[in-house]
Structure 1
Amino acid sequence: MQIAAQIPEPAKLTAVALKAYARVADAWSLAQKEAAGLADMSESTWKRARKPGFAGELTKDQLLRLSAVIGIYKALELYFSAPLSQSWMTRPNTGPLFGGARPIDVAIDGGLPQILAVRTYLDALRGGA
């Protein structure tokens, strides 16, 4: 007997992604503007998206962003202990990707490619590479 993999319907996927992302934004104490910018949405859309029952759809780019940010959160939780794991994204960083800027600002300004670069950077740190 063959069991087909269940692919979540878009609305359910969106709801789960937004709920997880909202928890990350809260854990990092992101301002509304920062959370919205990182997700590539307007502040008003982010305010609506945070509420249960949000009926909007996310683009593939937005879903990838949220997934990558959740991966960044997970890597930080594994690599650092609190409170550094929760403040790392909002603290100035002299690492090669950041040049003294805060990782959150670099990620917002650089969009999805930079968000993925931050995730890769953290995965390399975590893996010892």
Structure 2
Amino acid sequence: MQISVKSRKPVEYTAVALKAYARAAAAWRLSQKEAAGLADMSESTWKRAKKPGFTGELTKDQYLRLSAIIGIYKSLELYFSAPLAAEWMTRPNTGPLFGGARPVDTAIEGGLPQILNIRTYLDALRGGA
């Protein structure tokens, strides 16, 4: 049975997205500031959003960010062993997208386009391209 996103209530969809994102942020040991910046939220909004029962709304950009970040998290878990999968986003990276910076910092600075670039980069690594 397939459930379409349209059949879910927005609050339920938001809760699932935020729970999955919080899991990734915790696994990567992101600070409150980093987790908020990556999700394009203020720190106070992030503190409220990660608690069960959050009734606020997310923007389309925030939904897209969370979706792509969850995809990055899944790719890292599939591609790398446990220690590296958890550290990859917060370790300096000399790859072409990062120039020696930490992927999380480039994602926060570059916003959704950079987050999508990282997702594509990891999908290519996983696919052998």
TM normalised by structure 2 equals: 0.95
Moved over 3 A (4+): 3-6
User: 1:117 matched to which residue of 2?
Assistant: 117
1:1-129 map, 5 Å: 5=4, 7-129=7-129
Cα deviation, residue 12, structure 1: 0.6
Structure 1 unaligned spans of 5+: none
Which amino acid counterpart does residue 93 of structure 2 have in structure 1?
Answer: N
Cα deviation, residue 8, structure 1: 1.4
Distance 1:31 1:128 in 2: 32
- The structure with the larger Rg is 1
Partner secondary structure for residue 83 of structure 1:
helix
Aligned-residue RMSD, C-alpha: 1.3
Which amino acid counterpart does residue 51 of structure 2 have in structure 1?
Answer: K
Which amino acid counterpart does residue 20 of structure 2 have in structure 1?
Answer: A
Distance 1:30 1:112 in 2: 18
Partner secondary structure for residue 121 of structure 1:
helix
Count of matched residue pairs? 127
Structure 2 unaligned spans of 5+: none
